[in-house]
Structures are given as structure tokens and as C-alpha cells.
Amino acid sequence: MTRRPKSLEQWVEEVAAHTRPRNIHWCTGSDEEFDTLVAQALADDTLRPLDQERYPDCYLHLSDPSDVARVEHLTFVCTTDRDDAGPNNHWMAPDAGHAKVDALFAGAMQGRTMYVVPYCMGPIDSPYSRCGVEITDSRYVAINMKLMTRMGDAALRRIEADGSFVRGLHSTGDLDPERRFIMHFPEEMMIKSIGSGYGGNALLGKKCHALRIASYQARSEGWLAEHMLIVGVESPTGDTHYIACALPSACGKTNLAMLVPPASQPGWKIWTLGDDIAWLHLDDSGRLCAINPESGYFGVVPGTNEDSNPNAYRMIQHDTIFTNVARTDDGEPWWEGKAVGEPAFDWRGRRYDPNGGPAAHPNSRFTVAASNNPGYSELAEAPGGVPLTAIVFGGRRRELAPLVFEARDWRHGVLVGAGVASETTAAMIGEVGVVRRDPMAMKPFCGYNFADYWAHWLSFTERSDRLPRIFHVNWFRRDAEGRFLWPGFGENLRVLRWIIDRCEGKIGATETPIGYLPKPGDIDTEGLDIDAQTMESLTAVDIDGWSQEMASIGEYLESYGERLPAALRRERDRIAAQLAEAS
Ligand code: OXD
Ligand code: MN
């Protein structure tokens, strides 16, 4: 048996005394254990079988209809000083936070098995990785953690060696939204989540640890924990550039990370390193290197098909847990945009009614091990990560934001990231399609005050002169009739190629107050059904619109008060003045 650190055993005992489970299971992470957990989940209906011939080892989980997305209004960062959490987080004093959830945890696991899930975020032997232990009463969570993280004995051994770990306590409770809280105690490296079984709230290694707690820890240790995919873009001559891209939830990070070059781009290859989270460290030579702390994908299903994301479509034909998709009469999973089959049962398990809303929930998900991805990069396991050529920020904006532009330098890039705005999506409970500021796509995930976070980002210029170049993209521009102007999906490679050409110093750009924009003809549009006028509107800067945008960014930044870094304010003022001059 792998040695269990004393402090961990003690904590497990304390939690068990408080939550009173029927029994305790320490997860080893073995394949046999996984098979047993799945068999038990099938027996108690947590998982439902899908057609095992067409979808081998694929299962369906249907959650409580009130529990299908992240709950930002119930997510708290509990720091001693309220200002450390910042206006970007809901805050509770640590004592009050503990008291609130501890009362709900009392006896919460009665009659249930308590799973102790040791996990490692990042390759087991990477100096950049960090470990945690999730205690949960959800078998679904234990099963998903095996797919999403390096889970079990190997992680336990690393915890023993590291001497520290993030503690995450989770119970599905009674699933009552009134008794649902996702609490973070970054000063104690602790998470307590109750009342939800949904991935982002319950798989604590993901958003809670790898973003909220890790971002807090990263600040004091000099690195960055970001809501970014990581891809390797290999050119026909065999050079590979690594790019990290921050897009808000459900804005196509998985599609971009798994892009398959269209026939029009012969010789290009895309390697996936991560689809959601990147931990960024400066190496000894000043390069910013990225690791993906996860080892699986928890991706949005609707819209995935042979054309939009062929690798993802193939990847989820086997060994996949589907959550809240629909089913066909012959037991195949079905979702809007699948392009084959007909739904017979909807995501609530009811007979499908075409007038009763979508068959699959818009935030239905697949969970799958990253090794299932035909484009998984070997370097995803590299302990030192991959050096980044570019960082790309983006949002979902029907207007204003051009297809792509480049920041003048790192400081300007930090402003570009801080000013990101995007339409809300089904990934969290609330209205969909409302434009809100989502700095660095981290609005729901930054575990401390954004003002301090921007200061931390800015500080990297003092530590390295080899930082990646920073860009901004928007795949989601529409015309007056609501049609997308840019085809997106695999064709986004054309934009990545422009980004790489810029980084290699191969091409010029048009200098504008908001940054460098592509010159006509520099983005390859050959073979696309897109005319020069559309390209012109995708790459033009609307000076008046941007003047208003800068005013709105200014107001937003000022809401952070005195903690706002002066350098960021100056950068905004400089661009606002240039826009005023240009108008
Ligand atoms: C996710 C999210 O699940 O951002 O990745 O909501
Ligand atoms: Mn995400």
C-alpha cells in the first residue's frame, strides 16, 4: 500500500467524523478500480449504458435539472481581507465561510461512500505540477477525476514527497440550490464545495484548484495559472510554435486546441497540449513555458461533428462519459449539431418533444482522457512544458473587435487582456448572450483581486525580455442579419498562421491606436467564400466604437480603485488619447 501522509490521514478522519459516511474508499487510480466504479455507477443509475457496440465504454450521466452549470453567484473567495478577493469575486470572511458550509457538511455523507481522491495537476515529475486531495461522496466525481487528472497512488507518492497539497472537500449534499456553495480559502489552500455534482463545481482539481487556488498561489510564487488552451502549430517545414489562448467558457477553446487543418492548408499540423487551463512559468532562460495541469477534457458537446471538430468527434466515440446529452432510440448519444441520428430521449431522460427545448442541454459535456485525442502532443507530458511564441486573448463579440490584432508590447497586451469582453454562454447559470467584461477569460476564475492580478502580469516585463507576443482574436463577428462573417473552426488556422508570421518577423502590419492589424492579403483567404469587403470589415478599426470601448474599459478599470496598477491606467490613457486624435 502506498504510504499515506499523516496530515492527510488526520484530515480524512476529521472529515469522516463530521460528515459520517458509511465507508471510506481511498482511490488508487488503477484501471480495475475505474471499472469497478463504473460498474457500481451503472448499478445505481448514476451512469446509464449507451450502445456498447457503436460507443464502446461510453456512458451517460443525467444530472439534476437544477445542476447543469457553474454557479458564479454561489462561488466565494474567502480571504481575511475583503480587498484581497477584490470586486471580481464574491467574498465571505474565512470564519463565516467555514461556518456556513461546515453546518451543511454535518452528516452530509451518511449512507454514502466517501472517496479520497489524491490527484496531481500536471505531469507527475514536473517541478511545475501541484497536488491536491479531493474528498467527495460522489462516485461520478471519482470516475471523472480519473479521466481528468493524474489520480491515485502516483499522486499520493508525490504528495508525500512535496509535503503539501490542496485540500478539497466536496459533497453533493441534497442538491438544493439554496444549500449550494463553492467556497475557496486560498490562504489555507482549501476548497469546500457542497450541493452540486456539476463538473466545474465538483471536479475540484479543475476550476477550483487549477485556477482559483492556483492563481493565488502562482502570484506569490511568480507564475501564472490561466484559463487558456495550449496548441502546437507545426508548419509544412516541421517547425512548431506553441500558442496559449484564453477564451471565455464555451467559446471554442476545445475546437481550437484540437483543430484539424482543412484540405486548403496542406502540410500544417496541430498538436493539442491542453484545452482549458495553462500554468505558465519562466524558465531559466526567460522563456515563458506552459504546462497543462489536466490530463483529460471536460468539453461542451453540442455542435461537435465530423466537420466542426473531427478529432473531438472521433475521440468521443469510445471511453467517454457524456453528461446531459440526449439519446437515440437505439441507445446512441445525441446532441444538437451531431448531424446524424434522431433524439428519442432528452437530457432530462424524458421522451423528446421538439417543442420542449433542445434535446441535449446546451452545456452538456463529454469527459474523456486526453490520450484519446488523435492529436495529443507528446510534449503534453514534458516536465518543463513548452515555450510559448504567442499568447492570444479573445472573446465572443458580434461587433467591434476585429478578427485579429496584435498588441504593441507586453504592457499593451496586459491591457488588451484586461479589457476582454464577451457574451455570456450556457457554461454558467444566468442569462446567455449578455456582453460583460471577462478579463483574460478569468472573470469567474481569478482567486484574488484583479488589480493585483494585472500588476502580477505586468511584473513579467521586469523579469524577462523573451516574453511571447500578445494578440487578440474574435471569431464571432456577425453581419446585420446575424450571419457569422468568418467561417471559424478549422479555418482559424489561417489566423494562427498570421500570428506566427508576425512573431517570426515575416510580415508587416497596419499600425492603429488599438494595435497592429493585418494588411490586406496577409491573411490567406484562398478557397474561402469570403470577399474583400468582408475581410476589410473584419480587419478594420472602428475609431468611434473603440473610443467608446476605451471609455468603458477605463470605467471598468477604475472600479478597482487605488489598487489598479498605474501602468495599466497610463496604457489605457495613451490609447484613448490616440483614438481621440484619430477620430
Ligand atoms: C469549463 C468552463 O467547463 O469554463 O471549462 O466552464
Ligand atoms: Mn473553461
Which residue has its alpha carbon closest to ligand 1 atom 3? 200
Ligand 1, atom 1, lies closest to the CA of 249
Ordered by where they begin, the domains of the chain are 6-45+74-222 (3.40.449.10), 226-295+379-582 (3.90.228.20), 296-372 (2.170.8.10)
- Residue 265, helix vs strand vs coil: coil
DSSP, res 436: E
Residue 434 pLDDT: 87
d(CA 538, CA 542): 10
3-state DSSP assignment of residue 157: helix
Whether 92 and 74 have beta carbons less than 8 Å apart is answered as: no
CB count in 10 Å sphere of residue 351: 9
245 is catalytic: no
For residues 143 and 322, give the distance between their C-alpha atoms in angstroms, rounded to a whole number: 12
Average pLDDT rounded to a whole number, residues 15-26: 98
The Cα 275–Cα 253 span in angstroms is 6
The residue from 58, 245, 251, 289 that is catalytic is 251
pLDDT over threshold 80, residue 1:
no
* Cβ proximity of 280 and 18 under 8 Å: no
Of 245, 247, 249, the residue with max ligand 1 atoms within 8 A of its CB, to mutate for a pocket test, comes to 249
Strand pairing of 228-234 and 269-274? antiparallel
Tell me how far the alpha carbon of residue 432 lies from the centroid of ligand 1, in angstroms: 15
Q: Which atom of ligand 1 is found nearest the CA of 199?
A: 3
| Rounded (10°) angle between helices 450-463 and 410-418 | 160
pTM: 0.97
Q: What is the DSSP letter of 9?
A: H
pLDDT in tens, 93-120: 999 999 999 999 999 999 999 999 999 9
What proportion of the chain, given as a percentage, has pLDDT over 90? 96
What is each CA distance from 163 to 6, 235, 374, 573, in whole angstroms? 10, 43, 36, 47
Residues with C-beta atoms within 5 A of ion ligand 2: 249, 276
Geometric angle at alpha carbon 287, from 237 and 230, rounded to 5°: 60
Average pLDDT over residues 412-430: 93
Find out whether 48 and 348 touch, Cβ atoms under 8 Å: no
Closest atom of ligand 1 to 227 CA is: 4
pLDDT exceeds cutoff 80 at 412: yes
Mean pLDDT of 396-416: 97
- Check if the beta carbon of residue 56 is closer than 8 Å to that of residue 50: no
Phi-psi region of 240 (alpha: psi -120 to 50; beta: other; left: phi over 0): beta
Bridge-based pairing state of the strands 48-49 and 288-291: unpaired
Tell me whether strands 333-334 and 326-327 are parallel, antiparallel or unpaired: antiparallel
Total residue length of the chain = 583
Q: What are phi and psi of 376, to 5 degrees?
A: -65, 130
pLDDT of residue 425: 87
Phi, psi (deg, nearest 5) at residue 513: -60, -30
Rg (CA), the chain: 23
Which pLDDT does position 448 carry in this prediction? 98
CA of 422 to the centre of ligand 2 (A): 14
Q: Among 222, 214, 198, 270, which residue's Cα sits nearest to residue 489?
A: 270
Query: What is the structure's pLDDT at 232?
Result: 98
Distance from residue 252's CA to the centre of ligand 2 (Å) = 10
- Identify the three-state secondary structure at position 120: strand
pLDDT of residue 66: 94
- Asked if 114 contacts 15 with a C-beta cutoff of 8 angstroms, the reply is yes
Which candidate, 476, 482, 522, 530, places its Cα nearest to that of 501? Answer: 522
Say what angle helices 566-582 and 410-418 make with each other, to 10 degrees: 90
Using left for φ > 0, alpha for ψ between -120 and 50, and beta otherwise, residue 319 falls in left
**Secondary structure of residue 385 in the 3-state scheme:** coil
Helix boundaries (H) for 178-241: 199-202, 214-221
Task: Answer whether residue 225 shows pLDDT above 90.
Answer: yes
Per-residue burial over 547-573, b if 16 or more Cβ lie within 10 Å, else e, is: bebbeebbebbeebeeebbebbeebbe
Buried b (16+ CB within 10 A) or exposed e, 292-313: bbbbbbbbbbbbbeeebbbbbb
Angle subtended at Cα 386 by Cα 441 and Cα 498, rounded to the nearest 5 degrees = 65
Closest protein CA for atom 2 of ligand 1: 249
CB 194 within 8 A of CB 181: yes
- What is residue 152's predicted lDDT score, i.e. its pLDDT? 98
Phi-psi region of 380 (alpha: psi -120 to 50; beta: other; left: phi over 0): alpha
Distance 209 CA to ligand 1 centre (A): 13
| Whole-number average pLDDT of the chain | 97
- Kindly give the number of the ligand 1 atom that is closest to the alpha carbon of 365: 3
Mean pLDDT of 276-299: 98
Quick check: 311 and 385 in contact, CB under 8 A?
no
Atom of ligand 1 nearest to the CA of 445: 4
Cross-strand pairs, 130 = 121
Q: Is 341 helix (H, G, I), strand (E, B) or coil?
A: coil
SS3 sequence of 65-112: CCCCCECHHHEEECCCCHHHHCCCCEECCHHHHHHHHHHHHCCCCCCC
Mean pLDDT value across residues 150-178: 97
The string of pLDDT tens digits covering residues 82-94 is 999 999 999 999 9
Sign of the Cα torsion 342, 345, 348, 351 reads positive
Quick one: which of 44, 80, 74, 75 has its CA closest to 61? 44
Report the pLDDT value the prediction gives residue 428, as an integer from 0 to 100: 85
Whose atoms come closest to the Cα of 228: which ligand?
Answer: 2
Residues 6 or more apart whose CB falls under 8 angstroms from that of 81 comprise none
Ligand 1 binding pocket (C-beta < 6 A) is: 70, 199-200, 249, 276, 298, 427
User: Which residues, including other chains, have CB under 8 Å from residue 419's CB and lie 6 or more apart?
Assistant: 437, 439, 549, 553, 556, 572
